[in-house]
């Protein structure tokens, strides 16, 4: 399945809108749709309500960077010589699977 369902496409466009590319099951929420921080929390909460998906065990910190000064964090990490945190990609395909399972964890 390369294309995502019309319901997911419609939901993303209603909540976020303005995208000029075709959504696929591999479209990443953070990297491709630029959803992170408080916007990610709001998006996932709306997704759970809209599609009747249990998000009670969903770990936002695993998938999304937090709100804050990204430039300052990048500069500090550069001087500390630490690697930036890697996040697990969450895709539209994952959201479709969550709808089928009734749970996003």
Tens-place pLDDT, residues 22-61: 999 999 999 999 999 999 999 999 999 999 999 999 999 9
Whether the pLDDT of residue 1 is over 50: the answer is no
Whether the pLDDT of residue 68 is over 70: the answer is no
Domains of the chain, first to last? 6-101 (1.10.1200)
**What's phi and psi for 30, nearest 5 deg?**
-75, -50
CA angle 7, 93, 66 (to 5 degrees): 100
In whole angstroms, what separates CA 23 from the centre of its chain? 13
Of the candidates 95, 71, 91, 86, the one whose C-alpha atom is nearest the C-alpha of residue 30 is: 91
């Amino acid at each position: 399945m390369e294309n995502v369902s019309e319901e997911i496409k419609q939901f993303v466009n209603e909540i976020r809108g303005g995208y000029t590319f075709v959504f696929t099951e591999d479209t990443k929420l953070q990297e491709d749709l630029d959803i992170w921080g408080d916007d990610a929390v709001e998006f996932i909460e709306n997704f759970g309500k809209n599609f009747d998906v249990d998000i009670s065990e969903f770990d936002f910190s695993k998938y999304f960077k937090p709100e804050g000064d990204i430039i300052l964090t990048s500069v500090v990490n550069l001087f500390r010589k630490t690697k930036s945190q890697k996040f697990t990609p969450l895709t539209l395909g994952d959201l479709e699977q969550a709808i089928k399972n009734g749970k996003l964890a």
